[in-house]
Amino acid sequence: MSLIYLVAGEASGDILGARLMAALRARAPGLEFAGLGGERMAEQGLQSLFPIRELALMGLLEVLPSLRRLARRLEETAQDIARRAPRLVVTIDSPGFTLRLAARVKAMGIPVVHYVAPQIWAWRPGRVRKIARRVDRILALLPFEAPLFEAAGIPVSFVGHPILESEAARGDAARCPLPGRGLVVMPGSRAGEVRRLLPVFAETVRALPGDVTPVLALAGTVEEAVRARAEAFGRPLRFARTPAEKADAMAAARAGLIKSGTSSLEAAVAGLPHVVAYRLNPITAALARRLIRVRHVSLVNLLCGREVVPELLQQDCTPAALAAALRPLLEGGAAAEAQRAGFREALARLAPPAGRPSEAAAEAVLAELERRRE
């Protein structure tokens, strides 16, 4: 039997890994899996080497105190791969950890497929040379990424964006009746994000009219921390934990207050008008401003080439500014419909050439395995 070792470092990668496992098993039932993953990959039968919440860190100052632990976990994972000798390693996003691991794996002579292209189009394009030495193939989510990596000699498969398979498009408002006007609040899946954003989001909600009902989305890695801060919203609120619950909430709500990242695309798939917000540690933000090469952080805006969704970042991420941007969306009408038109435009560019994204990813992984047999 062929063993594939998968490594996911955070909640979004866990979802990707689970869908990939299911699609691979449907095509090659004899495959075995090992590696790192979360709840969703566990549902597919993966026994994670250790809890991936230890890897869900973002930002220079947030990572520094954990460097020793991360180095230990990196060594532990590399040793596990050496012991198991898989046919192929699939690293999923989280490049700070996975690409360091990929360098170790390549030295063992084991091929590496990296799922989710690092965003060299956004910052530090010089990284592509280092990436080329560490991976054998990249599975890209965005159509414009392939030429950037192929120019550096890295084979690329455009597999489409997994957001097209998310449950967000299958929400049912009838399953989530909300009094007044619903507002989905998504503060992120990392402890640092919750710590910085949730107080701002809570104050934003308090600045909105009293008929606005917040629905707080929970991610497994930070669920307890979010629940512990729920009283700060100062009004009754709902919780949405599972993907289905979040989808129903987005179908029932008028607007969303969304942490920058894949959550914005999820809202777009659901047709939920929203505002994107983010705050980094000030030092990390200062470094990022010197490195980032794109005008927008929202993928909806990047794909459309204009601001469809308001982006309120760093010093602009204030309760007053967020509340002002949300009010016209909560009213509905032209502002909300303009966003929905932009969503349709952006999402049309994310479909793979054939099939679903997870199926396209599975086909690319199996093709890489077949090439190794030749």
Q: Could you please report the per-residue DSSP string of 278-346?
A: E---HHHHHHHHHHB--S-SSHHHHHHTS-SS-EEEGGG--HHHHHHHHHHHHH-THHHHHHHHHHHHH
Q: How far apart are CA 94 and CA 9, in angstroms?
A: 6
The string of pLDDT tens digits covering residues 201-237 is 999 999 999 999 999 999 877 888 889 888 999 999 9
With cut-offs at 50, 70 and 90, classify the pLDDT of residue 121.
Answer: low
Give the N- to C-terminal CA distance of the chain in Å, as an integer. Answer: 17
Percent of the chain exceeding pLDDT 90 equals 67
With cut-offs at 50, 70 and 90, classify the pLDDT of residue 190.
Answer: confident
Is the pLDDT at 244 greater than 60? The verdict is yes
pLDDT at 60: 43
With cut-offs at 50, 70 and 90, classify the pLDDT of residue 299.
Answer: confident
Q: Kindly report the backbone phi and psi dihedral angles of residue 22, in degrees, each rounded to the nearest multiple of 5, phi listed first.
A: -65, -45
Per mean pLDDT, which of 1-15, 63-77, 113-127, 171-185 is the most reliable? 171-185
Token digits for 31? 């495959």
- At 9 the three-state DSSP class reads coil
With cut-offs at 50, 70 and 90, classify the pLDDT of residue 52.
Answer: confident
Token pair 């009838």 is found at 174
Amino acid at 347: L
pLDDT at 81: 98
Is the pLDDT at 62 greater than 70? The verdict is no
Those residues whose C-beta lies under 8 Å from the C-beta of residue 304, and which sit 6 or more positions away, are: 342, 345, 346
Least confident of 56-60, 128-132, 340-344, 351-355: 56-60
Is the pLDDT at 101 greater than 90? The verdict is yes
Question: Is 162 in contact with 19 (CB distance < 8 Å)?
Answer: yes
Q: How far apart are CA 361 and CA 348, in angstroms?
A: 18
Segment 195-202 mean pLDDT: 93
Amino acid at 295: R
Is the pLDDT at 289 greater than 60? The verdict is no
With cut-offs at 50, 70 and 90, classify the pLDDT of residue 282.
Answer: low
* Domains of the chain: residue spans and CATH: 3-160+352-373 (3.40.50.2000), 168-347 (3.40.50.2000)
With cut-offs at 50, 70 and 90, classify the pLDDT of residue 66.
Answer: low
Is the pLDDT at 275 greater than 70? The verdict is yes
Percent of the chain exceeding pLDDT 70 equals 91
Q: pTM for the full model?
A: 0.79
Q: How far apart are CA 40 and CA 42, in angstroms?
A: 5
